[in-house]
Amino acid sequence: MVEYTPPYAEYEFLFNEVFDVYDSISGIDHEEFDADFVRMIMEGWGEYCTEVLLPLNEIGDREGLTFKAGEVTMPTGFVDAWKEGVEAGWYAAICKPEHGGMGLPHVFRNAMDEFAISTNMALSVVPALGLGVYDLVTGHGTNELIDHYSANLATGLWCGTMCLTEPHAGTDLGIIRTKAIPQDDGTYRVTGTKIFITAGEHDLSDNIVHMVIAKTPDAPEGTRGISLFLVPKFLPKEWESGGLEGLSQELADARNGISCSGIEHKMGIHASPTCVMNFDDSVGWLIGELNNGMPLMFEMMNRERLATGMMGLGLGEIAYQNSLAWARDRRQGRDLAGVRDPAAAADNILVHPDVRRMLLTAKVNNEGCRALGVWVGMLLDQMHSEDEKVQERAKALIALLTPIVKAHFTDLGCETTSTCMQVMGGAGYCSEFGVEQFYRDVRISKIWEGTNGIQALDLAGRKITQNLGRNLRFLMWPLVEFIEENRDIPEMAEFNKPLHQGVRGLQQLTLLMVSQGMGNPHFLAAGATDYCRYFGNIMLAYMWAKMARVCIQRPDSEFHQAKLASARVFFKRIYPETVALAATIQSGHKHLMEYPEAMM
């Protein structure tokens, strides 16, 4: 039986002690957002996740999906669970009140993501996509589109997708073939095939709203010629006079020219339909301006990248909780330093240093990622601040941190779930205990929304030099300031000194990547993944140093002293890999690119 306890205490610690969450968002239309309210909402969401979503997780993995005659049927219980979430208003929580939401801040959305992913990753991706479509429609759609689609998307009555990849075009979207032909009534007719479309077809909702990138006739070559279109599965049934301009009467109450020709059979997330979608003269509406589809699509994709990063944390957390529970009950061998429990045939396996190494590595990485996730959530809210300087800083930091969160969190999530299986030995490999499913499910996160190699190239090749390096400067300022503030605090030396060394190393490696990369792009590309990992470790070190700074002031608290012990595990056991990463980055590219291809 899989267990899960939402980490309420962890979020309370981060919200109330480590970060000034409430002060930071008080001027962004969130004055009612306080600790008591957060606790109430978080407990309600946690109850829904543990009591409704978690029991369906294994069922969805075992049953999978049914595909017949172009239609996808979700596993037993999924439709009812979805409707319960819709009726309770959970999926609209962070949306605007005028669209049926509660207007909760993004920092809370990240916490919601973690709980849902831990308990049912296959289902959790559906509302994440719907919210992404909601953001695009609300931010860039016409008033008619907003009036008709926003509330339905916000509440989850209707779902959404993002349709980019084509059979011949994955990362290279500039060569897509999907066409959008303008019509006299203001609509477009969209024709083409999209693959790997998550939740492209299902029976959870009455309608699915697809965000489709396509090219109009005579559009510029490459990504500069891509436009974005809203293409619904079902066309609107009712509208007021003058509403949804361009929709002719004969199109009303009709299914659009959209069909699903198949679903993929995958290693994991068996209850999440991954579809081949065909658009055949489908009616669509332009979102934003012509030939500006890629910047808009990346608004949604970058938010989904952050949500994908939280998948690494969510599945890493539930894997850790279950492997720890198993380890507490498992007796095997004796403590090498002497028998711990002479009344039993064997000692608990927690006496073994290697078991502790695995479990504590999982725990500490999870908690570091959670802290960084909270900071990123705060920055997402600050992007909407009325203070232009706060807004500029938040946008720069989000641009820089997005590839790190996506790549580093998901890398660690895959490592953590694998490690937790190892803790359990043969039991971890058996489906009866659930952890092997978490490993299979989380593996897609390193591929979704741009592979982690692409994220690393984005970080090293674009984000660190973007805006004349301002993105990186906005990060370095608080890092250096924190180090200086804690330089003369003796209790902080064990955390502050290695953080200082790592930040100096990051500065030197960044200069190396930029200078060498300008002359030889192979150098930059060969070191990008290791650079991204190095950067990720620096960010977790910063988070752990911030948490340690709070905890050294609470010697009377068991919770805070445990956090200090966790910080020591991070800096002693995990952080030293930055030394090896630096050496690998500096080794360059020649040993890779000069290797004879014929001998590979």
Q: What is the mean pLDDT of the chain?
A: 93
Exposure letters 414-435 (e unless 16+ CB within 10 A, then b): bbbbbbbbebbeeebeeeebbb
Alpha-carbon span 11 to 438, nearest angstrom: 22
- State how far the alpha carbon of 501 is from the alpha carbons of 184, 507, 576, in Å: 63, 10, 11
SS3 209: strand
Instruction: Output the DSSP codes for 363-408.
Output: HHHHHHHHHHHHHHHHHHHHTT-SSHHHHHHHHHHHHHHHHHHHHH
Alpha-carbon span 483 to 352, nearest angstrom: 36
SS3 74: coil
Provide Rg for the chain, Cα atoms.
25
Among 252, 283, 259, 255, which residue's Cα sits nearest to residue 190?
A: 283
* pLDDT for residue 498: 98
CB of 231 closer than 8 Å to CB of 190: yes
SS3 554: coil
Model confidence pLDDT, tens digit, residues 472-486: 999 999 999 999 999
CB of 560 closer than 8 Å to CB of 550: yes
Q: Six-digit token pair at 506?
A: 């990051």
Model confidence pLDDT, tens digit, residues 428-450: 999 999 999 999 999 999 999 99
Alpha-carbon span 305 to 409, nearest angstrom: 11
Among 34, 10, 13, which residue's Cα sits nearest to residue 22?
A: 34
* pLDDT band at residue 30 under the 50/70/90 scheme: low
Q: Catalytic: which of 43, 449, 481, 484?
A: 449
* pLDDT for residue 23: 81
- Predicted TM-score of the model (pTM): 0.95
Q: Locate tokens 């330089």: which residue?
A: 487
* pLDDT band at residue 240 under the 50/70/90 scheme: very low
* pLDDT for residue 241: 42
Q: Six-digit token pair at 42?
A: 């978080």
Q: Given a cut of 90, is residue 38 above it in pLDDT?
A: no
Residue 449 a catalytic site member:
yes
Model confidence pLDDT, tens digit, residues 522-550: 999 999 999 999 999 999 999 999 999 99
Q: Given a cut of 90, is residue 386 above it in pLDDT?
A: no
Model confidence pLDDT, tens digit, residues 392-432: 999 999 999 999 999 999 999 999 999 999 999 999 999 99
Q: Which of 3-12, 28-37, 80-89, 181-190 has the lowest mean pLDDT?
A: 28-37
Q: Given a cut of 90, is residue 119 above it in pLDDT?
A: yes
* pLDDT for residue 362: 98
Q: When comparing pLDDT for 48 and 37, which is higher?
A: 48
Q: Could you give the maximum distance between any two Cα atoms of the chain, in Å? A: 86
Q: What 8-state DSSP symbol labels residue 572? A: I
* pLDDT for residue 344: 85
- Tell me how crowded residue 559 is: count the other CB atoms within 10 A of its CB: 11
- Give Cβ neighbours of residue 233 (< 8 Å, ≥ 6 apart): 207, 208, 209, 210, 255, 256, 258
Model confidence pLDDT, tens digit, residues 572-586: 999 999 999 999 999
CB of 526 closer than 8 Å to CB of 593: yes
Side chain identity at residue 497, one-letter code: K
Alpha-carbon span 262 to 260, nearest angstrom: 6
Q: Six-digit token pair at 62?
A: 């075992």
* pLDDT band at residue 253 under the 50/70/90 scheme: low
Q: Given a cut of 90, is residue 35 above it in pLDDT?
A: no
Q: Given a cut of 50, is residue 242 above it in pLDDT?
A: no
Among 97, 88, 139, which residue's Cα sits nearest to residue 295?
A: 139
CB of 96 closer than 8 Å to CB of 154: yes
Model confidence pLDDT, tens digit, residues 333-377: 887 888 888 888 888 999 999 999 999 999 999 999 999 999 999
Length of the chain: 600
Average pLDDT of span 455-484: 93
Instruction: Output the DSSP codes for 289-354.
Output: STT-HHHHHHHHHHHHHHHHHHHHHHHHHHHHHHHHHHHHH-B-S--TTS-S-TTSSS-BGGGSHH
